[in-house]
Amino acid sequence: MTPILLVPGLVCTAEVFAPQAVALWPYGPVTIASTLNGRSMRDIAAAILADAPPRFALAGISMGGYISFEILRQAPERVLKLALLDTSARPDTPEQTAARRGAVERAKSGDFAALLEAITTSFLHPAHRDDAGLRDINVRMGLSVGVEGFARQTEAIIGRVDSRPSLAAIAVPTLVLVGDADPLTPVELSKEIAAGIPQAKLVVIEDCGHGSTLEQPAAVNRQLVDWISAA
C-alpha cells in the first residue's frame, strides 16, 4: 500500500479532500497536509516534508499544486506518483498579484466571511453557485485558516517560482485534472502542464469549476482511484 499525501489549496483545510480521503483510504494511509506553517512556498513545502512519510503519492489542488511542484524540487526521490488538480505551473502575473493583495486588504478591513462567500461564488461552476452546502464548506474552511493565514498563504503564492522549466524532469506517473469551467486555472493551463510532463494523463471534469474535489467528488474520486491503483 502506498502512503498518500494530499495538499489543500488557499484557505482550505483538510475538509477540501474529505470525499477523497474516504475513497483513497483502501489504497494506503492518507495524510492531509497542513499549509499553515511558513511564509514562502519553500518553507511551506519543507514543513510538509518534515512530517510526511518517507515516500508517498502526492496530490495537490490549486495552491496545493504550487506546493507540490516545490516538494518535487526539494525531494523528488520521495514522490512516487503525482496528481495536480486545478492548478498552474506559471508564476503570478502583475494583475493577479494586485488582485490577491487587494483581497487580503479587504479581508483585514472588512467582513472576511462575506469575502470568502464572494470568492467561492466566483470560482464555482455556474450550476453550483446556488449550492448553499458548497458555500458553507468553503466559508467554514476559510474562517478556520483565518485572515492572517490567508495573508501568509497569499504572499507565498505571489512569490512562487515558474514551474514550467522543471516539468520535463518529472519522472513519475502523473494525473493532471481540471474542471471544464475552471475560471481561475483554466483548462489551457492544465493542458500546458500535461504537455510538459512526460506521459502525463490529462482529465477534464465536466460541469465543474475550480473546486473539483467538492464540486464533482465522485468523478474526481474515480480518477484518483485509477491513478493510485495503476501499476
pLDDT tens-digit series, residues 53-97: 999 999 999 999 999 999 999 999 999 999 999 999 999 999 999
In a domain, 138, yes or no: no
What CA–CA distance (Å, rounded) separates 3 from 83? 14
Confidence tier at 218 by pLDDT (50, 70, 90): very high
Q: How many domains does the chain have?
A: 1
In a domain, 116, yes or no: no
What CA–CA distance (Å, rounded) separates 172 from 50? 21
Give φ, ψ of 59 to 5 degrees: -135, 135
Q: How confident is the model at residue 219, as a pLDDT? A: 98
Letter for the amino acid at 96?
Q
What CA–CA distance (Å, rounded) separates 189 from 97? 18
User: What would the grid cell of residue 213 be?
Assistant: 474535489
Q: How confident is the model at residue 18, as a pLDDT? A: 97
For 20, the 3-state DSSP assignment is helix
The predicted-structure confidence for 102-145, as pLDDT tens digits, reads as follows 999 999 988 899 999 999 999 999 999 989 999 999 999 999 99
In a domain, 84, yes or no: yes
Q: How confident is the model at residue 110, as a pLDDT? A: 83
In a domain, 186, yes or no: yes
Q: How confident is the model at residue 3, as a pLDDT? A: 97
What's the whole-number average pLDDT of the chain?
Answer: 96
C-alpha to C-alpha distances, 68 to 46, 130, 143, nearest whole angstrom: 11, 31, 24
Range of the domain at 13: 4-92+157-229
Residue 61 CA to chain centroid, in angstroms?
2
For residues 137 and 15, the answer to whether their CB atoms sit within 8 Å is yes
For residues 73 and 80, the answer to whether their CB atoms sit within 8 Å is no
The predicted-structure confidence for 30-41, as pLDDT tens digits, reads as follows 999 999 999 999
In a domain, 144, yes or no: no
In a domain, 104, yes or no: no
C-alpha to C-alpha distances, 40 to 10, 66, 77, nearest whole angstrom: 13, 11, 22
In a domain, 212, yes or no: yes
Give φ, ψ of 64 to 5 degrees: -60, -30
Letter for the amino acid at 111?
D
Residue 231 has pLDDT above 90, yes or no: no
In a domain, 73, yes or no: yes
What CA–CA distance (Å, rounded) separates 113 from 71? 31
Residue 204's CATH number: 3.40.50.1820
Q: How confident is the model at residue 100, as a pLDDT? A: 95
Residues 6+ apart with CB under 8 A from 83: 57, 58, 59, 60, 174, 175, 176, 177, 224, 227
Lowest average pLDDT, out of 85-94, 113-122, 159-168, 193-202, goes to: 113-122
Q: Report the percent of the chain where pLDDT is more than 90.
A: 94
